[in-house]
Structure 1
Amino acid sequence: MDLDSGQLVPHWAEMDLRAENDIDRALILRPATSLIETHRFAVALRNIKGTDGQTLPAPIGFRVLRDNNPTSNPVIEERRNEFEAIFAEEAAVGINRADLYLTWYFTVASADTLAGRMLSMRDDAFGQLNGQSPTFAVTGTRTTDLQKGIAKVVTGTFEVPLYLDNGGAPGSRMTYSPLNGDPVSDATYTAEFTCTVPEAAVANGEAVPVVYGHGLLGSSEEAASTSVQRTAAANNSLYCATSWIGLAAEDIGFASQALSDINLFPSIPDRLQQSMLNTLYLGRLMIHLDGLGNAPEFQSSSGANMINTDSAYFDGNSEGGIMGGAVTAVAQDWTNAVLGVTGMNYSTLLQRSVDFDRFASILREAYPNALDQQLAFGLIQMLWDRGETSGYVQHLTDRAYERTPAHAVILDVAFGDHQVAPITAQNIARTLKMPIYKPTLSATSAPLGVQPFWFWNLPGIRKFPYEGSALVFWDSGTMAPPSGNITPIMSERWIAECSGENAGNADSALCADPHEDPRRQPAVMKQKLAFFQPKGKVTNVCAEQACVSTPSDELGY
């Protein structure tokens, strides 16, 4: 419950399905919406049953507080007054202290604690530009092995104020001013970019500038992937990306080390915040009159700037969607973003993702106790919040930070995604009171195992075109994900229907991972065309039917 508002908090409870022994199996409570910044929250456990079905007695240390039994223990007695206050506040919302198995309270971090470093970096770094373009250099151009409608792929570098030590390398930490504690820059970072240039831009200019966010442990080169090239060609969009340092290809080694020693972990969110700044600088570079359009590689056949510099836009997938919500929340040069196969809160995402499987063994070896692992996820999330959507979500759309415009986002989510759990995208939508496209899933999928709470409190879009933000599910016919902290391929149903004697079904729509599907749909490209323009709106690209995806292997790109 929210002690400041008196409202109950929607949430679900799950037992740790990855624990091998019941004694180490944690009870995990997951809010279904982001907890309001600076508010005080209490958790009250009642009617807790043991494995025999009998109600468990409250722990003795808590029971003497609940039942107002004095003790000679100073640790307990010094907390009695604060618990009396909690009991009174809980009673106001109908929680009887006599029914409690356990209760505790906490205060949620403030916007400044979560985003203050990033906003300080942004304001300082853009202040250093003094209205000028970031410095950049083109390093290469490729005109071969391209999709139809693409003229070239251009690579280069640009300079960004650096707020990390050790040159910003993996393992580096944020540097702070001794005067006010804000991040401080005393060097520059050379970030790379990759851009896909459509033929239409060379011929006629007016390319829509789209900042692209790549996937997990990838690089800027994903901006030249076949699906991005197809989108760029279809929409006359210039797609450019830089690397999400902190979770880029160059970070694989350090990320593995951090899982074996979580004391190393703080470097990852520190570098992710630098990567967000790099991404903001790339957006400015794309739309500044003295930016990319000043280079011959970004000029039309008439010699003019091929880029429509009115506004930038953002498009990201997977990690690019998870990071994209954070960077969009602080973006000043774009107001519309599409976050593909997205989510938030890595402490929920990791154990539900097949991508984490290759790293999970490292964590288990270093921290073999399942309770320690859950504690580690909770601890590192408090730092990770500063470098992913979860720490910025309350300001992603209409409760913008100072000196920041409001934003509109489309969440394009793959039902049954094996890599990014859709439940966390639903949490984003609930937090922002974002409507969902309906009908959400196809009737032919009739997904066995769909939990009603997944779509709880997500109203439908009443009228198209819709001005605002929206959640859209894309249905490839994939089976419903399991309820719990396991991957889809660990579920009993997937094992029964997609492995062993049924291994031949593994590539079927029912069993295959739909993660790559939404971004490749022509309808999604059409959706982006309407959204990535001034006053862009959400359009109905599914003809009043559920949005059904053609599997990416059938599309061939």
Structure 2
Amino acid sequence: MVPSHCGFPFPSDVWTEQDPTTVTGLRVAFGETTLPEMVALGGHLDPEPYRQFDGWSVGQAPMTHMPGATVTGLPTPLSIGQSLSKESPTVLIEAETGVAVPHFAELDLSGPEGDQAFMLRPVVRLKDATRYIVAIRHVVDAEGNELAPSPVFEALRDGTDHSDPSVATRRALYADIIERLQQANYSTEDLQLAWDFTTGSLENKTEWVLHMRDEALATVGDAGPSYQITQVTENPNPNIRRRIEGLMTVPLYLDTAEVGGKLNFGDDGMPEQNGTAEFEFIVQIPHAATTGTPGAILQNGHGQLGSRNEGRNGYLAQIANKHNYVTISVDFVGFAEEDEEEVVNLLLEDFSRWEFIIQRQHQGLINSLLAMRMMKGSFHEDPQVQFSGVSAIDPSQTYYRGDSQGGIFGVSYMALSTDVTRGLLGEPGAPYNLLLNRSANFVPFFGILKIQFSEYLDTQLAIGLAQMYWDRTEPITYIPHVTGNPLPGTPDHNVLIHVAVGDPQVTPLGAHLIARGVGAVNLSPAYRNIWGLEQQVAPVNGNAIVEFKFDEVPANPIINQPPPPGPDPHDWVRVLDASIDQSHIFWQTGIVEQICDGGCDPE
């Protein structure tokens, strides 16, 4: 149907087979030569590992190749509502109900002209185990002429003959697709392309991490994991009275704790404990917690490929002492500083190894949960946290905050945590296949991809393949389970979302998607309207998003590229008094107050 490039359209149920043992009744089954060729491998990516999935990512942008296409007349990030019109040139609907999915359409402008993927970006998380239909019509070229459908698709659409043997085998499928579009009141005689795909089940994406979480927490009990203090530093900065560094001993679910480790699976197909391993942590006790009033526990999530040391002499110490929080930080295993070389190497050597980065992130999520259990368990009684006979830690108050990557995976943490129910998500976003091309941080990694996949369109296919694995750990899977629909054995949670308008590292479009998914409101007065979010004046009892606008920073471009070089507000929000104070009130009360004088313009 897309003669210009193999593998498109993507995702597509053409690349599945029936399997009655899965929740969806399907299993992903690529052909031997369907996946892109990687230069370093000297051949195609191996299709076998993808058979573990019973459907496609709930965060994937359906995409295809339409040579000569423009975005003239298509819904954009500024006209999302247009995508719900029956006249919209791009259509994405639930097959069974005909309900339209709000989205915008774009070309992948990071590619050369003629080799740009045509993409529909859902602005909400897709449903699990659900069949969707994509339809495209009235897309025009630079002269305003509508593009012709491929002869194969035209034969399927119109029921005419064609010599391609795939036409006969797809007749029944396309009769169903056409009928469902017509039942949903979309015209079909003008279709340029249509196809279907089925998203994977929630069980398929979450069963590993839930099994690990429940087993690990039961293993360590209320006391949390055992630990060893390795270093104590008095007064390391003006805000911190004592810094405690150590090693916590946790159940290990990898074949090795070292970088490159893979999940260790048992006969039942679930991750199986492989002994224990020690992982580093850092606790900071502010002066405020040493005067007889114990501090609440605040866990911090670090940024992209960062470490537990982030902010220890800066913003995190400032927050801790200003509002009396004892902080705990660990490396996010699988996407920490020590993992960067492995990420680069797999891009250079074998993209198939991405699977193991995601497997290692499972251990990272579990370590984060166990660190909080340690803090509220035995650690608060340790002699090193006692001052004048009083513990500096109040184990009854537990909160989370994270920025950038820590805000992104903070969604997953909050949906999984049994010990924390309120969290700040600073500069978050989802899914990664939306964030990457729009991020200045991704530029060097993208350069490697373009070298390794000689056909440019294959870079977007590679990102789509990575997203399938990423669904197991990144927020796109966990967004609807933060508030109102918790995962099994998990309490309800609330989150406050902070965003920097013009952020070149994490596009606010990803934060908007998260906000819609958790049922947040846009705190009023707001810098701008956000499609699908109600504006509400303070106080807000529940989830909210607050956008901070800096005068010298323009809003992000709507195309899938980073903003041009200029002031970077990515790390500016977390040090503002308005941000710190608003977060503190939310952690303590669950209420979002309007701290800014008017909209959150720091000037």
Q: Tell me, yes or no, whether TM beats 0.5.
A: yes
Aligned-pair CA distance for 1:548: 1.7
AA at the equivalent of 1:153:
R
The residue number in structure 2 matching 1:38 is 129
**How do 1:394-543 and structure 2 match up within 5 A?**
394-441=480-527, 455-462=530-537, 464-477=538-551, 478-489=553-564, 511-533=566-588, 535-543=589-597
**How do 1:144-543 and structure 2 match up within 5 A?**
144-147=235-238, 149-165=239-255, 167-178=256-267, 180-260=268-348, 261-288=350-377, 290=378, 292-299=379-386, 301-441=387-527, 455-462=530-537, 464-477=538-551, 478-489=553-564, 511-533=566-588, 535-543=589-597
Structure with greater strand share of residues: 2
Aligned-pair CA distance for 1:71: 4.3
The residue number in structure 2 matching 1:549 is 602
Unaligned runs of 5+ in 2: 1-92
Alpha-carbon separation, structure 2, partners of 1:131 and 1:296? 19
Alpha-carbon separation, structure 2, partners of 1:305 and 1:488? 47
Alpha-carbon separation, structure 1, partners of 2:121 and 2:217? 37
Alpha-carbon separation, structure 1, partners of 2:97 and 2:329? 42
Kept in 2: contact 1:114–1:392 (CA 8 A): no
Alpha-carbon separation, structure 1, partners of 2:311 and 2:209? 25
The residue number in structure 2 matching 1:26 is 117
Secondary structure of the residue that 2:521 maps to in structure 1? coil
AA at the equivalent of 2:592:
V
AA at the equivalent of 2:242:
K
Alpha-carbon separation, structure 2, partners of 1:368 and 1:188? 43
Kept in 2: contact 1:208–1:532 (CA 8 A): no
Secondary structure of the residue that 1:221 maps to in structure 2? coil
With structure 2 as the length reference, what TM-score do the two structures score? Answer: 0.82
Moved more, 341-350 or 513-522: 341-350
Alpha-carbon separation, structure 1, partners of 2:188 and 2:427? 43
Secondary structure of the residue that 1:224 maps to in structure 2? coil
Aligned-pair CA distance for 1:48: 1.9
Aligned-pair CA distance for 1:145: 4.2
Kept in 1: contact 2:149–2:193 (CA 8 A): yes
The answer to whether 1:3 aligns with 2:72 is no
Kept in 2: contact 1:13–1:28 (CA 8 A): yes
Alpha-carbon separation, structure 2, partners of 1:62 and 1:307? 65
Alpha-carbon separation, structure 2, partners of 1:276 and 1:549? 34
- Residues 430 and 92 (structure 1 numbering): CA distance in 2 closer, same or farther, change over 3 Å? same
Aligned-pair CA distance for 1:549: 2.9
AA at the equivalent of 2:326:
L
Alpha-carbon separation, structure 1, partners of 2:587 and 2:99? 38
The residue number in structure 1 matching 2:144 is 53
Secondary structure of the residue that 2:396 maps to in structure 1? coil
Secondary structure of the residue that 2:428 maps to in structure 1? coil
Alpha-carbon separation, structure 1, partners of 2:222 and 2:527? 47
Root-mean-square deviation (Å): 1.6
Kept in 2: contact 1:219–1:243 (CA 8 A): yes
Aligned-pair CA distance for 1:298: 1.6
The residue number in structure 1 matching 2:46 is none
Secondary structure of the residue that 2:327 maps to in structure 1? strand
Aligned-pair CA distance for 1:315: 0.3
Moved more, 125-134 or 372-381: 125-134
Alpha-carbon separation, structure 2, partners of 1:131 and 1:438? 41
Kept in 1: contact 2:288–2:322 (CA 8 A): no
Deviations 1:23-61 (A, max 9, x none): 211112110111111221111001121233211121111
AA at the equivalent of 1:539:
E
AA at the equivalent of 1:114:
K
Alpha-carbon separation, structure 1, partners of 2:560 and 2:261? 31
Aligned-pair CA distance for 1:342: 0.9
Kept in 2: contact 1:517–1:549 (CA 8 A): no
Aligned-pair CA distance for 1:73: 4.3
Alpha-carbon separation, structure 2, partners of 1:298 and 1:56? 69
Aligned-pair CA distance for 1:223: 4.8
The residue number in structure 2 matching 1:132 is 223
Secondary structure of the residue that 2:524 maps to in structure 1? coil
AA at the equivalent of 1:476:
F
Kept in 1: contact 2:482–2:493 (CA 8 A): yes
Moved more, 251-260 or 352-361: 352-361
Alpha-carbon separation, structure 2, partners of 1:139 and 1:145? 16
Alignment match of 1:83 (pick from 149, 162, 174): 174
Moved more, 221-230 or 466-475: 221-230
**How do 1:66-77 and structure 2 match up within 5 A?**
66-71=157-162, 73-77=164-168
Alpha-carbon separation, structure 2, partners of 1:5 and 1:303? 63
Kept in 2: contact 1:195–1:223 (CA 8 A): no
Deviations 1:164-219 (A, max 9, x none): 11x122222112111x2111112212111112211121122320101110011111
Alpha-carbon separation, structure 2, partners of 1:190 and 1:258? 26
Alpha-carbon separation, structure 2, partners of 1:130 and 1:200? 30
Moved more, 268-277 or 366-375: 366-375
Aligned-pair CA distance for 1:76: 2.1
Secondary structure of the residue that 1:524 maps to in structure 2? helix
Secondary structure of the residue that 1:79 maps to in structure 2? helix
Aligned-pair CA distance for 1:368: 3.5
Alpha-carbon separation, structure 2, partners of 1:132 and 1:151? 25
Secondary structure of the residue that 2:339 maps to in structure 1? helix
Kept in 2: contact 1:409–1:468 (CA 8 A): yes
AA at the equivalent of 1:172:
G
Aligned-pair CA distance for 1:304: 2.7
Deviations 1:116-154 (A, max 9, x none): 21111101111212443211111112224413x321221
Aligned-pair CA distance for 1:305: 2.3
Kept in 1: contact 2:259–2:338 (CA 8 A): yes
Aligned-pair CA distance for 1:280: 0.2
Structure with greater helix share of residues: 1
Kept in 2: contact 1:318–1:420 (CA 8 A): yes
AA at the equivalent of 1:483:
I
The residue number in structure 1 matching 2:34 is none
Alpha-carbon separation, structure 1, partners of 2:217 and 2:304? 27
The answer to whether 1:104 aligns with 2:195 is yes
